[in-house]
Amino acid sequence: MKLLRYFSVIIFFVLSNSASAQVPVYVAAYDYPPYFSDVLETDLTRELVRLLNEHQDSYEFLIQIIPPTSRYESLSEGGCCDVIFFESPLWGWSRSGVSYTKTIPLVSGKERLVTAKKEGRDQSFFDSYEGKTLGGVKGYHYLLGGKLVASDEAKEKYMIYLADSRIINLRMVLGQRVDLTVVNDELLAALQGSSQVRVDDLLLSEKASFEYDLHMLIGKDKSMNVKTLQRLMRELGRKGELDTLFKRFNMESFQLYRPSTMR
């Protein structure tokens, strides 16, 4: 009986030390569907975190929800997080003063104006913002008048209602509470056939307003580095996990990552 207790203590000690040996990696996540959303049933960030945790036991990836306006601070020295998934360096990072490294791009995306379908409404509706209310999201960046500006700056020049979610923007457009909003093609693809938003009831601008590549950004001197993260992604890619993930969200056409492209 004593011998059994002795081995039980050893097993508990080994398992406890194994669990505690995992290095926590905090992933900053803000509402940007389909990459992260509290409104949708799931999203790419949650699913990728799950895959990364199932794939290895050296690191434990943990989602830390933040507002979009805190993304720079989150990766700063002393910030709450180590990495942020599916982020563009174009979105204010050069002015943030925060040091970071980036993986090779995973996704190539586009944004475009959308409005509700209405009799007599055509592509000319997108030619001017005059007299129209634009739905936006706090902390996002928009290409307006040929310049990429933060949402608070855009509010000074345009009639903009700022919500907390792009899904809310779409619902407000369909409910004709705002005239226009900007939406990413990836979200429109993910919403096809969904009961969340009827994409078929939207009139889409034929011209994309902004194009971008999305990377994983890693803060300086954090518990994760770009070399290790790319290795983990490469391993998931070779197993076919990432292709399956993008396909699940109807995003194969936006996917830049392939096992052969990530070193």
46 and 162 co-located in one domain: no
pLDDT of amino acid 172:
96
96 and 218 co-located in one domain: yes
217 and 235 co-located in one domain: yes
88 and 16 co-located in one domain: yes
Q: Does 152 or 24 have the greater pLDDT score?
A: 24
Q: Does 52 or 7 have the greater pLDDT score?
A: 52
Nearest to 92 by CA among 67, 110, 65, 70: 70
Q: What pTM was estimated for this model as a whole?
A: 0.87
Residue 137: pLDDT above 80? yes
248 and 120 co-located in one domain: no
Asked whether residue 260 is assigned to any structural domain, the reply reads no
Q: What is the pLDDT of residues 151-200, one digit of tens each?
A: 888 888 889 999 989 999 999 999 999 999 999 999 999 998 888 889 99
- The percentage of the chain sitting over the pLDDT mark of 90, rounded to a whole number, equals 75
Of the CA atoms within 13 Å of residue 215, those in its CB half-sphere come to 18
Name the domain count of the chain: 2
Last residue of a domain, one of 196, 211, 226: 211
91 and 20 co-located in one domain: yes
Please say whether the beta carbons of 107 and 216 come within 8 A. Answer: no
Q: What is the pLDDT of residues 139-152, one digit of tens each?
A: 898 888 788 888 88
Tally of CB atoms within 10 A around 38: 12
20 and 32 co-located in one domain: yes
157 and 243 co-located in one domain: no
8 and 98 co-located in one domain: yes
> Backbone phi, then psi, for 114, in 5-degree steps?
-135, 155
Q: What is the pLDDT of residues 34-45, one digit of tens each?
A: 999 988 889 999
Q: Does 19 or 94 have the greater pLDDT score?
A: 94
Of 71-75, 120-124, 141-145, the poorest mean pLDDT is in 141-145
218 and 104 co-located in one domain: yes
- pLDDT bin (cut points 50, 70, 90) of residue 88 is very high
Residues 209-230 have a mean pLDDT of 96
Q: Does 75 or 141 have the greater pLDDT score?
A: 75
Identify the CATH number of the domain in which residue 159 sits: 3.40.190.10
Question: Which domain covers residue 197, as residue numbers?
Answer: 109-211
